[in-house]
Each structure stands twice: as C-alpha cells, then as structure tokens.
Amino acid sequence: MAPSIFITGATGYIGGDALYQLMRSTKQYEVAALVRNSDKGAQIASQYPTIRLVYGDLDSAEALEEEARKADIVLHADHVVAAEALTRGLAAHASDRPGYIIHTSGTAILLFADIERQIFGEASQKIYNDWDGVSEVTTIPDFAPHRNVDKIILASGSSNVKPAIVCPPTIYGQGRGPGNQRSIQLPELSRCTLEMGHGIQVGAGKTYWTNVHVHDLSEVFVALVEAAAAGGGNASWGAEGYYFTENGEHVWGEISKAVVSAAYKAGFVLSDEVKAHSNDEINEMCHFGTGLWGANSRCRAIRARKLLGWSPKGKSIEEEIPDTVAFEADLRGFVKHHAAKVTS
C-alpha cells in the first residue's frame, strides 16, 4: 500500500509548490488535502483529481486529529491549534509504525534580537546553522516569531511521532501550486516601490537575509517525505530534525536598488532613487515591513545538504527581480513607460 500523506496549506505558496513537486515524484502516495471551501477544493481537484479533499480549516481540531491518526506523513503550515491537533493524532500511532510530521517554520524566528532591541536597517554578524549549532536554534527565546509552533512540534517527538521542521528564509520565484503562486518579501518590496515611485529601504538598508528559490525549497520537502516513507531514511528527526533551506544571502538595501532599477528601466517609475524610510512609514506600506526588510536573519543550511543530498539549482534572487517587478506591475495595471504616460 502506498504511504498516506495529509497536507495542510495545499493552495498556499509553499505548500502548493511542494505538492506540485511531490505529485511529480516517481514514488506513489495516497494524498489528502485540507481545504477551506469548495472553491479551494476545485483548485486542487482540477489539477490533482486523485487527491482526497478534507473540508475544514486550521482550527478544525477534531478533523485534523482524525486525519493525522490515519496518515503516515503530515505536511503542516504554521498554526498553533492545528499543530496541537495533528501531533495528538500522530501520537496515536504505534511505536512500530510512527507517524511523521514535516512542519514549515521560517527564519523570521531569527529576527528576535533586532526586534527586542528595536534596531532596524543595521547589519548583524550573527549567523546560525542547523548542524553543530542546531541546539541554539531550537532553544531560541519564546517571544521569537514562529517559536510557539516550533515548540509544539519539537515537544511531540517520541517513539510514536517523528517531527522535522523546515525553516525557509526569503523565498522567491513563481510557485507552481493550484492556488497562490506569489511570495511575500520580494513581491511586496516591488509593489511598494511601484506605488511610491521610488526605491524604499529600512533605515541604512544594511540588513542581511538568506534566500531560496521556491522550487529548490520544494525539493527539501520531497526529500523528507521520501525519507519518512522509508522509515526515516538518512534524515534527522526529533530534536535535531531542523532544516534551514538557504542558498545564499543578500543585503536588503542592495535588493532595493535592484528592484527600483528594474522598475525604472521598464518605465514603471520616473526615478531610480532609493529613499530611506522610518519604521512607522515602512510598516504603513507593508505589514511587518521592518521585520521583512529591516531585521537580520542569517543562517547556513548544512543538514539538508549533508543528509538529504540537497543541491539547490534555482536562479538567484537578483536574477529573479526583473520578472517579479514585471509581474507586480501587471497585477496593478502598470504598462511599460507607465510613469512617463501618467505625468505627460
């Protein structure tokens, strides 16, 4: 019998692309997906008619617990009620047939130091890693973003439940899933640039983040699913099952320059100037903008490379910028040389 998988977030950006890659695998799986309504269900059914649809949301604790009892492997997005229900369901598995949960966190968890100090736009030299530094990552202060759900997942580890956490940084590139195919940080920076008519940055613009193409990220999820289906494989689970997924890093001030340059060359804005904005101004343009572009999130993805043979190949975030700017411009009705036409 094919391993059974239950996935939440299948119409989201991360989950949808992971589902796309999983369904293209040569391995056979029985997949069930949580969907909020018939419209979301239709998105999945039109692309993957063999997937069993489970109607509910991330607060549907009873349904989630029941699905986790039945599933061999659970792929889950970031949500407290759902994490508690899914891990309860998986705990009902026998120890000779443990349930596996692959949880999506995010490297916003590393922003805590800058958030606590309320220092934005400045560089940090602190770099975390998921290999010999994994215990530092799994004991980050409780007030850090994502930490509340990470703790639930990590605490679930037992002979019955084998958890792993995938922790992506800035994700870029168009998704291939049945629903949302748009990321957040780079598209939102492009949107704000187009709407303001100039480049924007938080303070001095010296903040570092790491990054990964969404297609490369999906390869990590598939590799972990395959390891789980093989009884754990070479992957780490439990306390050391923490996987950063970076493929390089960037400075947000430099990305801001590249975004406005692309917009200016296409004629979407009249200037390629980048202007520094206050924290309040940035957060008014974009929810949590000071965190997204102004606090440091630096890490090294060692575990996936060592244990899963992960070798990311996607184009760089810098190469992606012109396409992202063009996509955001099209969404908002901009056309090439839009700025000149508006002012003429």
Is residue 92 within 8 A of residue 69, CB to CB? The reply is: yes
**Residue 327: count of CB within 10 angstroms of its CB:** 14
Tokens matching residue 275: 């202007």
**Residue 26: count of CB within 10 angstroms of its CB:** 5
pLDDT at 344: 46
pTM of the model: 0.96
pLDDT at 336: 72
Q: Cα–Cα distance between 155 and 330 in angstroms, integer?
A: 45
Is residue 178 within 8 A of residue 10, CB to CB? The reply is: yes
Backbone angles phi, psi at 40, to 5 degrees: -65, -40
From residue 196, give the alpha-carbon distance in Å to each of 71, 110, 269, 275, 339: 48, 29, 9, 10, 11
Q: Cα–Cα distance between 188 and 255 in angstroms, integer?
A: 12
Q: Cα–Cα distance between 280 and 99 in angstroms, integer?
A: 45
Q: What is the mean pLDDT of each run of 10 residues along the chain (344 residues)?
A: 96 98 95 97 97 98 98 96 98 97 98 97 98 98 98 98 98 98 98 98 98 98 98 98 98 98 97 97 98 98 98 98 97 76 54
Helix axis angle for 61-70 and 80-91, nearest 10°, is 40
pLDDT at 150: 98
Q: Cα–Cα distance between 166 and 74 in angstroms, integer?
A: 13
pLDDT at 35: 98
Q: Cα–Cα distance between 176 and 199 in angstroms, integer?
A: 29
Q: Nearest to residue 255, comparing CAs of 300, 189, 303?
A: 189
Give strand pairing partners of 67.
Answer: none
Polymer length in residues for the chain: 344
The bridge status of strand 242-244 relative to strand 161-167 is parallel
